[in-house]
Amino acid sequence: MQTETPDYKAVKDKQRAGWETGDYPRVGNTLQIIAERLTEAAQVHAGDKVLDVACGQGNAAMSAARRFATATGVDYAANLLVQGQVRAEAEQLPVNFVEGDAEDLPCEDSEFDVSLSTVGVMFAPDQFRAAAELVRVTRQGGRIALASWTPESLVGGMFKVIGKYAPPPPAGVVSPMLWGTEDRLAELFGDKVEWIALNRRTFDFCYHSADHFSEWFRQYYGPITRLAGTLDETARARFAADLAEVAGRYNQADDGTLLAPGEYLEAVGIRR
């Protein structure tokens, strides 16, 4: 029996509209430490040609540029690239931002020494094609390094909440959280990448409270902002409460604030 191929373009068009809603860098900027850890784990050094795939506002690209690498960031959301350029100029970091699709990178074969992605490429709907593109643009012997939320993480729980309120994805489009598992990376990359480090790490979400977390993501995290705008008043209130409940479930603070670890998989591999 044949399985119908999803309309990936339609999925990406909806995704792009989501990322261009709200003000994602207000969330993404808080995640900078993940990129700093990843560039260190990938042993990015001066002179490397480094690609940041699905770069958003450029966390990993800017981290690579701080190490005097030649850094390029690619994303399909043009507004995020503009904000990345502003950030890079403010910090006097030479980063080349290019509009492009993670599933069809505007790059030459074997162009880069290191290809990075921090909780970005995992959202590409055609996961096998996105993985193939990472392999294609990385030279043999170069490094591919990824930071991806795990299914069990706070973010995994948040996306389960989103799934309660959003229309179901087309058949064949699977959860982006699978990138945060060793088994899925083995499926996606096969023998093209030798994974030399697979470490589960945590990022601490720090907010005034669980309700503040919910409000911040509803206001600024584009896909959630866009979804909330489609709900009626009663559903929006339930959605807000459900997001706060997820954050509170992971909270380790005892002073009324929120300090909630979010688990992610840090994967570093050699391109064969």
Residues paired with residue 71 on neighbouring β-strands, in sequence order = 50, 95
Hey, which bits of the chain come out as E strands?
Answer: 49-53, 70-75, 95-99, 112-118, 138-149, 193-207, 258-271
Beta strands at 112-118 and 138-149: parallel, antiparallel or unpaired: parallel
Using alpha carbons only, give the angle 221, 247, 229 rounded to the nearest 5 degrees: 35
Instruction: Tell me the fold of 8-150+169-203+263-271.
Output: Rossmann fold (3.40.50)
Q: Count of alpha carbons within 13 Å of 51, Cβ hemisphere only?
A: 31
User: Nearest to residue 134, comparing CAs of 124, 120, 144?
Assistant: 144
pLDDT of res. 1 = 41
Mean pLDDT calculated for residue range 136-152: 98
Q: pLDDT tier at 3 (50, 70, 90 boundaries)?
A: low
Q: What residues does each domain of the chain span?
A: 8-150+169-203+263-271
What integer pLDDT is reported at residue 2 of this predicted model? 46
Q: How far apart are CA 144 and CA 147, in angstroms?
A: 10
61 contacts 52 by C-beta, under 8 angstroms? yes
User: Which amino acid would we find at residue 186?
Assistant: A
Is 130 buried (19+), middle (13-18) or exposed (0-12) by CB count in 10 A? buried
CA-based torsion, 60, 62, 66, 71: positive or negative: positive
Exposure of 101 in the CB half-sphere (CA atoms within 13 A): 16
- Of 183, 164, 180, 186, nearest in space to 262 by CA: 180
Q: 5: which DSSP letter?
A: P
Q: What is the mean pLDDT of residues 126-151?
A: 98
* The pLDDT of residue 212: 98
Pairing type for strands 70-75 and 49-53 reads parallel
Q: Report how far residue 16's alpha carbon sits from residue 180's, in angstroms, rounded to the nearest whole number.
A: 22
Q: Give the up-direction half-sphere exposure of residue 107: CA atoms within 13 A in the CB hemisphere.
A: 34
Residues of the chain above pLDDT 70, percent: 99
> Mind spelling out the 3-state secondary structure of 200-218?
EEEEEEEECCHHHHHHHHH
168 Cα distance to chain centroid: 20
pLDDT tens by residue, 181-221: 999 999 999 999 999 999 999 999 999 999 999 999 999 99
pLDDT tier at 154 (50, 70, 90 boundaries)? Answer: very high
Averaged pLDDT for residues 10-18: 91
Average pLDDT score over residue span 105-118: 98
